[in-house]
Structures are given as C-alpha cells and as structure tokens.
Amino acid sequence: MNCLNLDDQASTSVSGGLCASYNKFVSTGFTDQKFMRGYSATAVSQLLKRAKQSQLNDSWQSYFDPLVGAKKSAGDIITFYKTQIQPQASWRHWLMQMSKNTRLSDALLIPLIADADDTVIQDKDLKLQKKSAEILSLLIDTETGNLIWTGGRKASMSLSALSGAQPSQPSLEDLEARLFFTDHWFEFPGRVH
C-alpha cells in the first residue's frame, strides 16, 4: 500500500516528499530478501485493476480518518488500530477482498506518517529551525486483521542562529536520512540481515 499521511497540518516542506520517500524506502527495504514474496504498491494496483476492484486500493484510508490531524503518537495509532479498526467486520472483509484479489496475499504492509513538523522555536537569543517526523509501518494479517509486526521511527533535524539572524532550513534529505534507517526492518518477520 502507498503511504498515508495522518498529519494534515504538516507543512508541505516536510510532508510534500516524505510519502514518496517512504514508499521508496518500503520497496527498497525488501531488495535481496529471497524468502519474501511481497508485491509492491504498483503491483497491487495492477492486480486490483485487472480484477476490476481498483476501489479497494484507496478505500482502506477511510478507516484511519479519525486519526487525520489528531497528532497521535505511533503507540496511540497502534492502540487505535487494535481497538477501533481491527474489530470492524467491514475492515476484515476489506482485508479478505484485498487478499482474494492480490493472489491470496496473507499480509498487508501499511506505511503511515504519524507526525511531520517544520517549526521555528525562539529561545531567548537562540532561534531554532526544526524539521521532525514520525513514521509507523503496520504489517497486518489479511485473514484475521491481527497486527503481525509494527515498526516505527521518530527523527528530527535542527539548525540554529543567534540574535536576529535567520537559521538555515534543515533539508528534507537530512531528515529522511535519519528517519529511513535500515534498523526499521530489523525485527520484520522472515527478513534476513
């Protein structure tokens, strides 16, 4: 699945390229994993199109609508999933339809951006320009809706300037280098390190 940004207040300088980079991070995270046979988001879209079920590709996002703009941590999102989304019969039906139409996939990986900020902080004579983000990946069993694995990471990048000077903007690339780190996949089931 493609990334979903839950932070609707995120500045475009942070969130603009973050989902695209997260999608790339997910797809490259499984390179050379000979025991894993997952489908990329593009392949899933093509399979659904062939099955005339393209609407399934985006309909999952509405289950997460109550979290959009709520500024929840990864832990809060996991709790919300377990208590509010997973028990819903319509969610489990959607998962089974996805499985049926994607060659009986047994699991689904959902990448989420929990939080993304671009802020300026004034602390007496010190001015900080800060970019931060938190990501979360959910691996979900398509038969039961149970969480098989979760992975997440929070990162920030700050630059400062003294008395009246404007600090440089931290680059999105530097934030992504801190955020999309290979240890995200360390305990992913079946992954060879």
pLDDT tens digit string along 45-75? Answer: 899 999 999 898 889 999 999 998 888 899 9
pLDDT tens digit string along 155-168? Answer: 999 888 887 788 88
- Give the C-alpha distances (Å, rounded to integers) separating 125 from 38, 70, 164: 52, 32, 8
- 43 is written with which tokens? 């392949």
Q: List, as own/partner pairs, every contact residues 176-185 make where C-beta atoms lie below 8 angstroms and the sequence separation is at least 24, other chains included.
A: 176/18, 176/21, 179/133, 179/135, 179/153, 179/154, 179/155, 180/21, 180/22, 180/25, 180/135, 180/153, 181/153, 182/29, 183/153, 184/25, 184/29, 184/135, 184/137, 184/151, 184/152, 184/153, 185/29, 185/151
pLDDT tens digit string along 2-29? Answer: 889 888 776 665 666 898 899 999 988 8
